[in-house]
Chain A
Amino acid sequence: MSQLHTPQAGDDRAVDDDVVGLLMRQHGDIRNLFDEVEASQGDARRDAFRRLVRLLAVHETAEEEVVHPFARRATAGGEGVVEDRLAEERAAKEALAALDGMDTDDPQFLPRLKALRTDVQEHARAEERYEFTHIRRSTDTAGLAAMARAVKAAESMAPTRPHPGVRSGAANMALGPVAAVVDRTRDAVRRALGKAD
């Protein structure tokens, strides 16, 4: 692999005024992190895996709070499409939680990670093809931008990468396990959308 680094969504200079474009770039960020975990070892792998867990938790939670409810309401047949995606997300979260409790040097870790990666990738493409297309079709630019802001708010409340000046170890400690990340993300999104807890 070359030395070129693809920054995560939010760190590039995209305007991020379209929730679908933003989420598609996050899908790529997730795949990049899977690559990084697979290619690294020891502490580097542990660190990359922590970042993957956080990004997945934040991304899926943001989708559940922002995108799925919209698709359910706004599109014909949206209910069924969203149910399928939620079932995939539940399965992925269970696999993620099981992996989260595992030592990244465990011989079972990589085979399980590979299975999770396949599931996550299929889920992401299904969203792009069966859900995101409807969202773009049934939303105006203001709606797409508002949803993008909510997803970015989730990101900023539960950062998925170390911020300048913060050592990643300390950031990890502050974030805690998957469930806590999910809770914090959900709160952040609801505040951004102007909903009461």
Chain B
Amino acid sequence: MTFNPLEQRGIPLDRQLRNWRELNVEPIDPDRCDPYTRCRIITMNGIEVEAILFSHHLARHTADPEIKQQLARSRYVEAQQQKAVNWLLPGVSSVLETTIAYEQVAVDLTAWVARMEPDPYLKQAYQFGVLEDFDHLYRYANLYEMIEHRKAESIVDNLTEVMPGRPTKYHHRDPVDNVRSPYDRATVDPLSKLHALTLVASEQQTMNYYMNTGPLYMEPIARQLYQEIGLIEEEHVTHYESLVDPGETWWEQLVNHEYNECYLYYSFMEQESDPRVKAVWELHLNMELEHLHVACDLMRRHDGREPQEILAPQLPNVLTFEPNKQYLRELLDTQMDLTTLGAGYVREAHERFEKMQEGIHGGEEPPSERVIAEHHEMFGREYRVQTDGEHPDPAMREK
């Protein structure tokens, strides 16, 4: 039986408020949890943050006080959902440990989306992006061993490999070249809309996290690395958000947001290994079903259209966190040397790219290179997790 969120009713909105006791969730055990449980938490936090920010933007463009009130009501519940989800993360984890988990999310979420994406242009955008997050994971993992003497495999647990991707220093492109072409909302597969929205939310959360936590570090190399990768996360938000058709109405976008939340909570409920966390996904799904109905009513009222026209006839296959090692190795073998030019991709370092590189690096090695050099100085080797053999690109093997 397939699950159709449009045909389900959830918890009535006026019964969704939680008290302090209900919000006071017990965090996961950082050393013994399923790494993908932590990935699901981080993903849903990003989704809820986007839900809140999107609703605020919509409210700022809304004159009708009654609609403002309706948005405020759903948004407050979403703010509580964000608290209940993100507070599942344990206080004993360091910023860097959570960062490594964020990059594991970026790698395995983007790789899965790339594998499942039906549209070739969108698929290419995800394949391009994932090789960059993959490299960030490797840089942060080396920083982690330097600062905390711990190995990133204690976090990613060999589910995700740690080795160079497209080198971070080449991610600094002219901002113009970060803007992709949008899909056409009238013809695109509804699943593609969900994919784009999920990655926008996820990269936006990563950008926000790095821009706020980076300066908490005192070690110069850590501060600098967060600055560098934080700037790239902004490029990624630009890259993914420009894929979304700007012709979607506000109400259409609201319905897509709520539908995507239903889709992801349902997906994660189906695969969650931690029963306590699974109960959170189930509860939140039942809340989101009502938010979706509210959004659908707003769309009918203001756009005079049926939400069924823009949504999939049934919920797509569940979005799954699982290892993507072979897929990533194929991409490492074939797409390492890509960069963007306008809305497309090229293999040569073109003039605008070179100019940007000169400008930002100022003739020096960037933090992402220095962190590996400093790590090597300290340990006489790099930190990598290559469970499935040598790096596919001989030039990227450890010297």
Across the interface, do A6 and B145 meet the contact criterion of CB distance under 8 Å?
Answer: yes
Convert A26-49 into 0s and 1s, putting 1 for each residue whose CB lies closer than 8 angstroms to a CB of B: 111101100100000000000000
Let me know if A24 and B147 touch, CB within 8 A: yes
Chain A 50-67 against B: per-residue CB contact (8 Å), 1 yes, 0 no?
Answer: 000000000000000000
The one of A4, A14, A26, A32 in contact with B381, judged by C-beta atoms closer than 8 angstroms, is: A4
Residue A122 lies at the interface, judged by CB distance under 8 Å to chain B: yes
User: Does B92 belong to the interface (CB within 8 Å)?
Assistant: yes
Binding site of A, secondary structure by majority: helix, strand, loop or mixed? helix
- Known contacts A7-B379, A12-B378, A122-B92; decide if A2 and B153 are in contact (CB<8 Å): yes
Tell me if B149 and A13 are in contact (CB < 8 A): no
B363 to chain A, nearest CB (A): 27
**Residue contact A25 to B147, C-beta cutoff 8 Å:** yes
A25 with B91: CB separation less than 8 A: no
Chain B residues with CB under 8 Å of A188's CB are none
Which residues of A in the span 1-19 have a Cβ within 8 Å of any Cβ on B? Answer: 1-2, 4, 6-9, 12-14
Tell me, rounded to whole Å, the shortest Cβ–Cβ distance linking B328 to chain A: 17
Interface residues on B, range: 20 to 34
In angstroms, Cα B149 to Cα A9, docked, is 8
Asked if A78 is at the interface (CB within 8 A of a chain B CB), the reply is no
Contact between chains at A4 and B377 (CB < 8 Å): no
Does A121 sit within 8 A of B, measured CB to CB?
A: yes
Q: Which among B145, B150, B218, B381 is the interface contact of A31 at CB below 8 angstroms?
A: B150
**Which of chain B's residues 139-168 have a Cβ closer than 8 Å to chain A?**
145-151, 153-154, 158
Shortest beta-carbon distance from A139 to chain B in Å: 12
* Interface membership of chain B positions 204-227, coded 1 if the CB is closer than 8 angstroms to chain A and 0 otherwise: 000000000000001100000000
- Residues in B whose Cβ lies below 8 Å from that of A122: 92
Size range of the interface on A? 20 to 34
Whose C-beta in chain A lies nearest to the C-beta of B148? A28
In the bound complex, do residue A24 and residue B92 qualify as a contact, i.e. CB atoms below 8 Å apart? no
Output the least CB separation between B224 and chain A (Å): 16
Given contacts A122-B92, A125-B94, is CB(A2)–CB(B151) below 8 Å? yes
Contact A6 B149 (CB under 8 A): yes
Contact with A along B359-387 (1 / 0, CB 8 A): 00000000000000000011111011101
User: In the complex, what residues of B have CB within 8 A of residue A32's CB?
Assistant: 149-150
A21 interface residue per 8 A CB criterion: yes
Q: Which residues of A contact B385 (CB under 8 A)?
A: 2
| Residues of the B chain whose Cβ atoms lie less than 8 Å from the Cβ of A35 | 154
Complex-state Cα separation, A20 to B92, whole angstroms: 18
Question: Contacting A13 at CB < 8 Å: which of B147, B158, B377, B387?
Answer: B377
Please indicate the chain A residues that have their CB under 8 angstroms from the CB of B92 in the complex.
121-122, 125
Please tell me if A190 contacts chain B, counting CB pairs below 8 Å: no
Q: Are B380 and A6 in contact (CB under 8 A)?
A: no
CA distance A13 to B31 in the complex (A): 27
A136 within 8 A of B: yes
Residues of chain B within 8 A (CB-CB) of A28 are 148-150
**Cβ–Cβ contact B379 & A27, under 8 A:** no
Interface residues of B (CB under 8 A from A): 31, 91-92, 94, 145-151, 153-154, 158, 218-219, 377-381, 383-385, 387
Between A and B, 12 residue pairs with Cβ closer than 8 Å are A4-B381, A4-B383, A6-B145, A6-B149, A6-B379, A13-B378, A14-B146, A24-B148, A27-B149, A117-B31, A121-B92, A136-B218
6 closest residue pairs by CB, A with B:
A28-B149, A28-B148, A25-B149, A28-B150, A125-B92, A12-B378
Q: Which residues of A contact B (CB under 8 A)?
A: 1-2, 4, 6-9, 12-14, 20-21, 24-29, 31-32, 35, 117, 121-122, 125, 128, 133, 136
Q: A6-B150, A128-B94 are in contact. List 12 more A-B contacts (CB 8 A).
A: A2-B384, A6-B145, A9-B149, A13-B377, A13-B380, A25-B147, A25-B149, A26-B149, A27-B148, A29-B149, A133-B218, A136-B218
